[in-house]
Amino acid sequence: MSERTYVMLKPDAVRRGFAGRILQRFEDAGLQMAAMQRLAVSEAQSKALYAEHEGKPFYDSLLTYIHSGPVVATVWEGTGAVALARKLIGATDPAQAAPGTIRGDFGLVMDENVVHGSDSAESAEREIPIFFPGLD
Ligand code: UDP
Ligand code: MG
């Protein structure tokens, strides 16, 4: 079934000049780009995106990282888009992420792990309107 997922190229990806190559991987995998915008994430947006992590030891540094520069917010659509995007992205810790995955190839440390991808279709439907409120 066709579904949508929220993928965000985090500040390190933009800063280090990997945005184009990362976007290419989602296109190569057959996903359709449904939305894309470069933006500075607001406090309200980061708090909403990461609500489930509030109170965890890494929460404050995570928000500082997400606000450290512009991101590229994207929505991708296709059959099994959520799981496919997570597969392309790889494990949360770049040090553990397999070669060939985005985090495995472009990331170094957990603190700057290059990209966000929704972990379920339900998460995607919650996350997409935080960044693309008008998207139908
Ligand atoms: N994170 C971190 N330290 C940790 C766990 C997570 O800095 O020990 C950050 C990291 O940027 C990660 C984000 O918090 O991408 C959200 O964590 P989650 O467990 O949801 O990982 P993801 O779904 O991004 O793989
Ligand atoms: Mg997550």
Q: Say which of 116, 118, 130, 131 is annotated catalytic.
A: 116
CATH number at residue 91: 3.30.70.141
76: which 2 tokens?
């991708």
- Mind listing the pLDDT tens digit for each residue in 23-61? 999 999 999 999 999 999 999 999 999 999 999 999 999
Q: Which atom of ligand 1 is nearest to the CA of 86?
A: 25
Active site residue 116: yes
Q: Tell me which residue has its CA closest to atom 19 in ligand 1.
A: 92
**Structural domain contains residue 76:** yes
- Mind listing the pLDDT tens digit for each residue in 106-125? 999 999 999 999 999 999 99
Q: Is 91 in the pocket of ligand 1 (CB under 6 A)?
A: no
Residue 91 domain boundaries: 2-131
pTM of the model as a whole: 0.98
Q: What is the pLDDT of residue 136?
A: 79
Give CA–CA dist 106/132, Å, rounded: 26
Percentage of the residues of the chain whose pLDDT score is greater than 70: 100
**Structural domain contains residue 136:** no
Q: What is the pLDDT of residue 28?
A: 98
Total of domains in the chain: 1
User: With contact defined as beta carbons under 8 Å apart, do 11 and 71 qualify?
Assistant: yes
**Structural domain contains residue 49:** yes
Residue 1 has pLDDT above 80, yes or no: no
Interval between CA 74 and ligand 1 midpoint (Å): 18
- Dihedrals φ, ψ of 94, to 5°? -55, -30
**Structural domain contains residue 126:** yes
- Mind listing the pLDDT tens digit for each residue in 75-102? 999 999 999 999 999 999 999 999 999 9
Instruction: Assign 113 to helix, strand or coil.
Output: coil
Q: Which ligand is nearest to the CA of 89?
A: 1
Q: What is the pLDDT of residue 119?
A: 98
Mean pLDDT value across residues 59-76: 98
**Structural domain contains residue 60:** yes
